[in-house]
Amino acid sequence: MAQEHIASGDRAFVDEEFETAVRHYTQALEVEPSAAVYEARANAKIELEKYMEAVQDASKAIELDSNYAKAYLRKGTACFHLEEYETALQCFEQGQQRAPDMPKFRTWIRKCKAELDGELEDVGAAAPMAPAAAPKPAAAAGLTPAAAAGPTPPPQQGLHQQQPHLHQWYQIGSKVVIDVYAKNLPKDAVAVQLTGEDDKLKVTIAAQPAAAGASQQQSNRAAAAGW
């Protein structure tokens, strides 16, 4: 039964009917989960530009078979399109270790390094600071300089609010995996706390100042068994 859905999904993919391919692969996974089918569905979702879902499927494939090189290729490709270049580079390098003769890994590794080098250049090209404007004298008679300047505008709201981080979660059997994709975060800035009460999982990410050097991206993963 699963093989029939897989074959139908493969035919639909070749015909560029990617939604149909996803549907058949999903039906096959409901019968028998496998790394190969998760990888195939991830590939179809990349074609549909559903990159976060593709990352999730590729991650499930890796969980089921950590030596499946094509799963690293799909995850890296999806991460690249999400502009998570460092995470993508790690995926491609891990895949290349498992399939050193696959030329696609070399191509994608070069692309990732080119993007990361571009980020370094962007950070290094700092814009010159504009000269401070000369103070203006009070124009109205009888007004003090402070009054002539007008009321002080209120501070802008949300100027330093931390932007939400890209994240995903998925479950395989009794294990839940959470991936958080964040820039400029060292490992000690992420705290994971699992409490036994109501199976609550709290992930705390400390606020970090803007980095002066190249931006760093890393996937901080928390896996909770029995969650």
Domain extents in the chain: 2-122, 167-225
Q: Indicate the angle between helix axes 2-14 and 18-31, nearest 10 degrees.
A: 160
Per-residue pLDDT of the chain (227 residues; tens, 9 = 90+): 899 999 999 999 999 999 999 999 999 999 999 999 999 999 999 999 999 999 999 999 999 999 999 999 999 999 999 999 999 999 999 999 999 999 999 999 999 999 999 876 665 555 555 555 555 554 444 444 544 445 555 555 444 444 456 666 655 555 566 766 665 566 666 766 666 555 555 666 665 554 434 444 444 444 433 33
CA distances to 17, 27, 53 from 10, in Å = 10, 13, 19
- Map residue 130 onto helix, strand or coil: coil
Run of H or E including 93: helix 85-98
| Predicted structure pTM score | 0.60
93 Cβ partners below 8 Å, 6+ apart? 105, 109
The second-level CATH assignment, the architecture, of 2-122 is Alpha Horseshoe (1.25)
